[in-house]
Amino acid sequence: MSFALDLFTVAAVSAGAFFYLAGSVGLLRFPDTLSRLHALTKADNLGLGLLVVGLLPQAPSVRSGLGLVAVWLLVLLTGATVSQLIARAARREPRRA
């Protein structure tokens, strides 16, 4: 059972790391602000989500597992807000985008 859980952790964390890598590549290579933001939010939301899901079986207690999920939810909330703000600023000033 614990082997299966470890395997699940490795798979989910690797998938999360992949999304971070893809998001970083997108951030560096995409042509304009809006698509760069798109790439970045994938890393934040999916990448971190997969990391958290992967780490949940390793959490020593239900409480620390809930803490991990809370971190993810907070990053979702702030990440979405900040990317909205940046996107609106970029649309208002397209020359600097």
Partner 1 sequence: MSAAFDAGLAVLLFGVAAWTVASRDRFAAVVGFVVYGSLLAVAWLRLHAPDVALTEAAIGSGLSGVLLLGAAARLRGGTEARRPAAGLRVLAAALAAAVAAGIGAVVLALPEPAPTLAPLAAEDLDATGLGNAVNAVLMAYRATDTLLEVVVLVLAVVGIWSLAPDARWGGRPWPRHEAAADGVLPFLARALTPVGVVAAVYLLWVGADAPGGGFQGGTVLAALWLLVVLAGLLDAPATSGKRLRLALLAGPAVFLAVGLAGILLAGSFLAYPPGWAKALILTIEFPKTFSIAVLLGLLLMGAPRRSDAA
- Residue from 74, 89, 91, 93 in contact with partner 1 (CB under 8 A): 74
Measured from the CB atom, the residue of 1 and 96 that comes closer to partner 1 is: 96
Name the token pair of 9: 């952790």
Contact between 81 and partner 1 by CB under 8 A: the answer reads yes
C-beta neighbour count of 38 within 10 angstroms = 16
Measured from the CB atom, the residue of 10 and 80 that comes closer to partner 1 is: 80
Rounded CA-CA distance 19/31 in Å is 19
Contact between 84 and partner 1 by CB under 8 A: the answer reads yes
